[in-house]
Amino acid sequence: MTLRYSDSETAIVETARRVLPAGGFGNTSSEIVIREGKGGRVWDVSGNEYVDFLLGSGPMLVGHAHPDVTKAVLEQVPRGTTFFANNEHGIRLAEAIVEAVPCAEKVRFVSSGSEADLYAMRLARAFRGRDKILKFEGGYHGMSDYGLMSLWPKRPGNFPQAAPDSAGIPASLRQEMLIAPFNDLEAAGTLIAEHRDELAGVIVEPFQRSIPPKPGFLQGLRDLTRRHGIPLIFDEVVTGFRLAYGGAQDYYGVVPDVCTLGKVVGGGFPLAAIAGRADIMAHFDRGTVGDDRFLPQIGTLSGNPVAAVAGLASLEVLRRPGTYERLFATGKTLMEGLQASMDKAGVTARVTGLPPLFDIVFADGPMNDYRDTARGDAAMMRRFNQVLRENGVMKGDNKFYVSLAHDERDVATALAAFDAAARALSK
């Protein structure tokens, strides 16, 4: 299709460049301004229509403006939008999380995945009385100083040394993070055994960005951390309620001590959570652990009732029969079609991930860890994304998020766009 650029969009983009650093919110391209979303599609302010595989970076698993979610939100808004106190909807959402997520005995709400991950690491420190956290290179655990260690290092160092990926991070924090390669159980086991008396916890995305765990990797981590009494944290901000109703820990059959949740659980509103074993979560309760071991956590919008009703409505949709079968079937068709388009055009590329969440890497060979995916041709990825957009498909810089709202028409549009992109990249 030929993209239209209206005068109003040009004016809005120019305003953004004047008032926002780099002209944007720090997320995806600042050259596009979205006007609305419905189901599996979005429209920009110039009226261009796209099949949406960005999905707000994942929260809109049931689709944009789902009628049940919208109804719940519109019923709550006239009754109040935030209280800084307990509300029934937040309590009911916590109950739903406890019922769904295997590790969840208690829940504490925050407003973002970054907050949830930060508090989960702090919680492990409070519980263990130790300082160091082991994470895996390329694992995304939010925007805290600790989370931004070895997330996307341009010059990966020697394990287990951490590399800060942002200006403004105190140099001293490098000493508090240990880095291991994802999917390498032997390396992780060596580090855990060597530093067992210093480690507060191990945090991992059970499905790291778009890289599935090797068989036995997660269970091996579970066994190692349990053996040494070290809390295992699953960062399920992305995978929670996406790979299965009980999240990745349900899908893979490995239960951590603590997990973080976000995106889907807030139904498109700012809500995230830390959930886990009652004895660990007790550190949020001064009356149980005492002043010295208490972990204060205060958030103006934590457990916000509007976000809570949106989350409850989304979870109700996800509990319906056939939901995950349909989601996986749609994603499988897209993944297979994308790989077939590249193979047919002779473009070196590997599609990696699972049907609800996958990516393409413009490189050959297996994709088992960050360094494998970092071999991908970044210029090819930028061109790929641009051609998709020109053919009516929206995605982020990386990753395809699939929603329940994506239908046969959306899939057909995407497959045609994949063919067009493959042809463009083969020239």
Encode 164-223 in three state secondary structure: ECCCCCCHHHHHHEEEECCCCHHHHHHHHHHCCCCEEEEEECCCECCECCCCCHHHHHHH
CA-CA distance, 164 to 153, in Å (whole number)? Answer: 8
The H-or-E segment that residue 398 falls in is none
Mean pLDDT of all residues in 80-91: 97
Structure tokens at 181: 């390669």
One-letter amino acid identity for 337? G
CA-CA distance, 358 to 377, in Å (whole number)? Answer: 17
Conformation bin of residue 263: beta by default, left when phi > 0, alpha when psi is -120 to 50: left
Kindly list the domain boundaries of the chain, sorted by start residue. Answer: 7-65+322-426, 67-318
Mean pLDDT of all residues in 105-130: 98
Mean pLDDT of all residues in 267-285: 98
pLDDT(135) > 90:
yes
One-letter amino acid identity for 412? A
One-letter amino acid identity for 82? T
Q: What is the DSSP letter of 149?
A: B
Mean pLDDT of all residues in 139-165: 92
What percent of the chain stands above pLDDT 70?
A: 100
pLDDT(157) > 80:
no
pLDDT(122) > 90:
yes
pLDDT(9) > 90:
no
pLDDT(86) > 90:
yes
pLDDT(3) > 80:
no
Structure tokens at 58: 């994942």
Handedness of CA 409, 412, 418, 419 (dihedral sign): negative
Structure tokens at 229: 């009494």
Q: Is 263 a catalytic residue?
A: yes
Q: Which residues of 353-375 are buried (b: 16+ CB within 10 A; e: fewer)?
A: bbbbbbbbbbbeeebbbbebbbe
Structure tokens at 387: 């051609």
Rounded to two decimals, the pTM is 0.96
Determine which of 66-80, 128-142, 148-162 has the lowest per-residue pLDDT on average: 148-162
Name the catalytic one among 235, 372, 410, 419. 235
- The set of residues, in sequence order, having a beta carbon less than 8 Å from that of 191 and lying 6+ positions away, is 134, 159, 160, 178, 180
pLDDT(28) > 90:
no
CA-CA distance, 163 to 166, in Å (whole number)? Answer: 9
pLDDT(407) > 90:
yes
Mean pLDDT of all residues in 32-60: 96
Query: Which residues is 52 bridged to in the sheet?
Result: 394
Structural domain 67-318, CATH architecture: 3-Layer(aba) Sandwich (3.40)
Determine the topology of domain 7-65+322-426 in CATH.
Aspartate Aminotransferase, domain 1 (3.90.1150)
CA-CA distance, 62 to 82, in Å (whole number)? Answer: 24
Name the catalytic one among 119, 132, 135, 140. 140
Task: Please report the pLDDT score of residue 1 as a whole number.
Answer: 67
Burial class (CB in 10 A: 0-12, 13-18, 19+), 170: exposed
The H-or-E segment that residue 291 falls in is none
Name the catalytic one among 135, 263, 395, 399. 263
Conformation bin of residue 140: beta by default, left when phi > 0, alpha when psi is -120 to 50: beta
- N-term to C-term CA, the chain: 20
Angle between helices 185-194 and 217-228 (to 10 degrees): 10
Q: Are 314 and 99 in contact (CB under 8 A)?
A: no
